[in-house]
């Protein structure tokens, strides 16, 4: 009885040795191809389109950073574009908008609105909250690792 079982298992092993690789190759070759896109649709884009007329542009707004700031509007929410900047040497910098003037080295104001993370890209675009009808308030960079405001810039014309 044992010899018969051993022969049966040996034949099954040889059959599987021949069938399994062929089945695996067929499975890999017959699977559906992954979808390919040249770019994301505008609705899914990480950065909003800032192609409207410039409402304000200045190179000397920031305290604690060297960026050129442009505020544009194309009928929707205002878009802030930061260009030509040196990388921030802060842990996990985040960009916020606030109606209150923040203190450098202090905590976030209570009304701070997160716009997004600040990667080391040369050009960044962020959409302001829909409740901001005109360039007003403050942009601030908050270092999450230090839990403090490390840079700020006024958006309004009359801001100090």
Residue 13 has pLDDT above 90, yes or no: yes
Residues in contact with 87: Cβ distance below 8 Å, sequence separation at least 6, in sequence order: 120
Does residue 105 lie in a domain region? yes
Residue 85 has pLDDT above 80, yes or no: no
Q: pTM for the whole thing?
A: 0.65
pLDDT at res. 131: 76
**Residue ranges making up the domain that contains 116:** 48-154
| Domain at 96, CATH number | 2.60.40
Residue 58 has pLDDT above 50, yes or no: yes
Does residue 14 lie in a domain region? no
Least confident of 32-41, 95-104, 132-141: 32-41
For 67-100, b/e burial (b = at least 16 CB within 10 A) is: bbbbbbbeeeebbbbbeebeebebeebbbbbbbe
How many domains would you assign to the chain? Answer: 1
Does residue 115 lie in a domain region? yes
Does residue 9 lie in a domain region? no
Residue 26 has pLDDT above 60, yes or no: yes
Does residue 82 lie in a domain region? yes
Does residue 22 lie in a domain region? no
Mean pLDDT for 14-31 is 92
pLDDT at res. 45: 56
pLDDT at res. 39: 65
pLDDT at res. 46: 55
């Amino acid at each position: 009885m044992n010899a018969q079982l051993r022969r049966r298992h040996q034949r099954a092993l040889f059959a599987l040795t021949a069938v399994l690789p062929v089945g695996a190759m067929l499975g890999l070759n017959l699977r559906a191809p992954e979808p390919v896109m040249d770019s994301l649709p505008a609705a899914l884009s990480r950065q909003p389109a800032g192609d409207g007329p410039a409402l304000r542009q200045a190179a000397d707004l920031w305290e604690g950073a060297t960026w050129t700031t442009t505020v544009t509007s194309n009928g929707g929410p205002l878009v802030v574009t930061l260009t030509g900047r040196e990388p921030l040497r802060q842990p996990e910098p985040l960009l916020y908008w606030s109606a209150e003037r923040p203190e450098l080295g202090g905590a976030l104001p209570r009304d701070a609105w997160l716009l997004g993370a600040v990667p080391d890209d040369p050009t960044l675009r962020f959409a302001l909250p829909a409740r901001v009808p005109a360039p007003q308030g403050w942009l601030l960079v908050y270092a999450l690792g230090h839990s403090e405001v490390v840079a700020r810039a006024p958006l309004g014309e009359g801001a100090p």
